[in-house]
Chain A
Amino acid sequence: MKTISIALKDLQILFKDRGTLFQLFVLPLLFILVFSGALGAISQADTVTIPTLALVDLDGAEAAQTILSKLQADGSLTVQSYSAADAQAQLDAKKVVGVLTIPADFTRSIQQSQPVTLVLTSAAEADVQVVEAVRLVIESIAADMTLESQIIASLEQMGAMQANAPEEYQLFTTERVLEQAHFQFETAQARPLINIVQSVPQQDEAQEATPDLSQSAVPGFTVLFVFLAAQTTARSIYEEKKIGSFRRLVAAPLSKAELLIGKILPNFITGLVQIAVILAFGSLGLRLLGLTPLPIEKALFGTILIAILLALCSSAFGIAVAAIARTENQISGLSTLLLWGMGLLGGSMVPLFILERFLGPIPMIVPHYWANRALDNLLIRRLSLPDITLELVVLLGFSLLFFAIGLWRFDFER
């Protein structure tokens, strides 16, 4: 209860400080807007050319030809047929965005209404957005073919039954035929005959695919500004010590743990609100502005888990800074040097895949890197929660390390 009282008091003070509120909630959105716009423009500039898709036709029959002609007719892709080896060479040489492989029994499976799988292989470095667009085109054509095939098969079946039945048993009225067509239409949507499987060569998962630059601004600035909020904790403790109220708190019947948790809690709560505001903007705001939004709703639980660990790590870092810094200048200096420096190194301002090309494993030494990687993998590369376990564990480790430094160095007497 006393801990809550300290936290509420600090939040009350915080919400009277317009400068800090601006820095916590408005500045990140401005940064995201500017960077998303700028990076989005760079992405668009790169995707003006029509992508080329290599087609490996192992079937060579009618349905495969239909796919080829429909892809060519679509106009959004250039499609060229290759042998499997040549297609791989084209992919390695980055001359094509992906390779679509039609299996040997494709036409027969379609004719027998049996499920069949097309494999779309994309290059590890390919632009995720372009590959996604190609996949959607193939998926759309496959869906049309599924529907067409199933409706024709159904009508043929009905025709055969009609022809063999006596006149008094004519069952297929116009209503029955329409009903059957609707059923086939729904079945084609729910259980498509043709499935598309996407794969990235030499990678088990699609995690090394290059993220959309404009999307990466949202996780990057979320991480940067949540960590920047750590200086609010450090400053709040410094202010308490400067005005003497910290002595008053130490003299009150409070344990040191209650006191420290009370000072950490506001930053933790503010961090969570900050993440919610920034990610909501990344999802809804960017959509409204015509920029690429983040699909947070598809990974809500994982996002919440990352948010909790991120806010915790930032709060713990605030305590560590408060414990190490002795003066206001030291707090400002440490905050500027460490938080902006770590943000830059950890991929908050420059996308991680670019940083890693230049710096190799160096960014791994800062918590920002792991937080950015967790958000990127979950929200941009669409990996599942178990896939980001390492990132979450490392973030927790950093939090514990910062707490330990804070408790070890914290001076309650000064």
Chain B
Amino acid sequence: MPAILEVENLVKKYGDFEAVKGVSFSVEEGEVFGLLGPNGAGKTQTISMLTGVIPATSGTARIGGHDIHKEMSQVKKLNGLVPQDLALYPTLSARANLNFFGRIYGLHGRELKERVEDVLRIVALTERADQVVDKFSGGMMRRVNIAAGLVHQPRLLFLDEPTVGVDPQSRNHIFESVQRLNRERGMSVVYTSHYMEEVETLCNRAAIIDEGRIIAMDTIKNLIAMLGGGVVYVGVSQMDEATLAEIAALPAVKEATLVPQPATPPAPEGKEPSAEVKPVTTTPVVKVVARQNQQAVVNVLGYLNQHDIAITSLEIMQPNLESVFLHLTGKKLRE
């Protein structure tokens, strides 16, 4: 499959602050590609550069073979953007909104009418098309928001966190719409989210992005396989290097490391540490990457019992993108 989108070392700087630090990825024609990362990771900035909303500081990208620096007007015709905000005119009806967004992409007359009816069908809002958007539920507004990005039949659709603040029923509607567009019309999709379940459900491949950098990129299956059978976090009363090495060598354990402990916040300058400020717990936490989760838990707990090492906490994480992100960055996606 040829690539509809090729991104090379894209950078966005605001003064000294680098919001996007040289991301590179490609999306094949007909693929649903996920950009997974927490808020502020650089997902929206990346999409904004690819859709011509903001200029890139450096690096390049080609969409449908057109360079974003030299042929942005061609690129814009191929792109569809569904922004994170509900970018609709609340006092106009759903149909009036869609007619307007169709017109600014050059549609008119019968073609515009047909396209508007088509996207209303896709998002299952034909019956409510003439109602003012302001009267819609959050989920319905999200669906109109998506329809507005589809009305001109883009080849590449950018969906930026399209399910924020949406009820489960509307979320399912949105999932179904995206899957149908991809399956039936071969539309390529770049889907950004900080919900790992969404990316797991919808995407063929994904890039995990954090602090402006892509830290992992592969098929969803391969990304999850990075963690083998899952991850176990065990809080212990004591731990040393030799014991850690023995745990790592246990059957069903792929890797064992000590989780770095956050430092106690320093007292303000010129002041003694306050008695009320409790120091962060200092008991060590061992992160165990398992080949097989249940077996690894049995082996590790057995080993700790045998060596009289008290267990202070235990957290078992199934292998998924959330645990992959935690494994790679040491923080949770929704922190």
The chain A residues found within 8 Å of chain B, CB to CB, are 1-2, 5-6, 9, 12-13, 16-17, 243-245, 247-254, 413
A residues less than 8 Å from B51 (CB atoms): 251
Q: Is the interface of B mostly helix, strand, loop or mixed?
A: loop
Q: Which of A5, A13, A243 contacts B85 (CB 8 A)?
A: A243
Tell me if B148 is interfacial: C-beta within 8 Å of chain A: yes
Report yes or no: B79 in contact with A251, Cβ–Cβ below 8 A.
yes
Report yes or no: A248 in contact with B91, Cβ–Cβ below 8 A.
no
A249 to B149, CA, bound (A): 11
A5 to B80, CA, bound (A): 19
Given contacts A5-B100, A12-B92, A413-B53, contact A248 B87 (CB under 8 A): yes
A6 to B53, CA, bound (A): 18
Given contacts A243-B85, A247-B48, contact A12 B101 (CB under 8 A): no
Report yes or no: A251 in contact with B73, Cβ–Cβ below 8 A.
no
Task: Spot the interface stretch: B103-111, B195-203, B289-297, B301-309.
Answer: B103-111
A17 to B134, CA, bound (A): 14
Q: Which of B73, B87, B91 contacts A247 (CB 8 A)?
A: B87
Chain A's closest residue to B78 (CB) is A253
User: What's the minimum C-beta distance from A292 to chain B, rounded to whole angstroms?
Assistant: 41
Interface string of B72-100 (1 = CB under 8 A from A): 01001101010111111111100010001
A residues less than 8 Å from B108 (CB atoms): 1
Given contacts A12-B92, A413-B54, contact A252 B104 (CB under 8 A): yes
Report yes or no: A251 in contact with B91, Cβ–Cβ below 8 A.
no
A245 to B53, CA, bound (A): 11
Q: Which of A1, A9, A244 contacts B100 (CB 8 A)?
A: A9
B residues less than 8 Å from A250 (CB atoms): 52-53
Report yes or no: A16 in contact with B87, Cβ–Cβ below 8 A.
no
Report yes or no: B87 in contact with A244, Cβ–Cβ below 8 A.
yes
Report yes or no: B54 in contact with A251, Cβ–Cβ below 8 A.
no
A1 to B77, CA, bound (A): 16
Q: Which of B51, B54, B84, B87 has the most CB of A within 10 A?
A: B87
Report yes or no: B91 in contact with A5, Cβ–Cβ below 8 A.
no
A12 to B96, CA, bound (A): 10
Report yes or no: B104 in contact with A251, Cβ–Cβ below 8 A.
no
Within 8 A of A (CB), among B38-70: 48, 51-55
Chain A's closest residue to B44 (CB) is A247
Given pairs A247-B48, A247-B87, 14 additional interface contacts (CB within 8 A) = A5-B104, A6-B104, A9-B89, A17-B91, A243-B87, A243-B90, A245-B88, A248-B83, A251-B81, A252-B104, A253-B73, A253-B76, A253-B105, A413-B48
Report yes or no: A247 in contact with B103, Cβ–Cβ below 8 A.
no
Given contacts A12-B92, A13-B89, contact A248 B101 (CB under 8 A): yes
Q: List 24 A-B contacts (CB under 8 A).
A: A2-B104, A9-B89, A9-B92, A9-B100, A13-B89, A13-B91, A13-B92, A17-B91, A243-B87, A243-B89, A244-B85, A245-B87, A247-B81, A247-B83, A247-B87, A248-B81, A251-B51, A251-B52, A251-B76, A251-B81, A252-B101, A252-B104, A254-B104, A413-B48
User: What's the minimum C-beta distance from A261 to chain B, rounded to whole angstroms?
Assistant: 13
Report yes or no: A253 in contact with B87, Cβ–Cβ below 8 A.
no
User: What's the minimum C-beta distance from B6 to chain A, rounded to whole angstroms?
Assistant: 19
Chain A's closest residue to B101 (CB) is A248
Chain B's closest residue to A245 (CB) is B87
User: What's the minimum C-beta distance from B163 to chain A, rounded to whole angstroms?
Assistant: 16
A251 to B54, CA, bound (A): 9
A residues less than 8 Å from B149 (CB atoms): 248
Q: Which of B77, B85, B88, B100 contacts A253 (CB 8 A)?
A: B77
Given contacts A5-B100, A247-B48, A413-B54, contact A252 B105 (CB under 8 A): yes
B residues less than 8 Å from A2 (CB atoms): 103-104, 106
Q: Which of A1, A5, A6, A243 contacts B86 (CB 8 A)?
A: A243
A9 to B106, CA, bound (A): 15
- The 6 closest A-B CB pairs, nearest first, are A244-B85, A244-B87, A5-B103, A253-B76, A245-B87, A251-B51
A107 to B84, CA, bound (A): 90
Report yes or no: A251 in contact with B100, Cβ–Cβ below 8 A.
no
Given contacts A13-B92, A413-B53, contact A244 B86 (CB under 8 A): yes
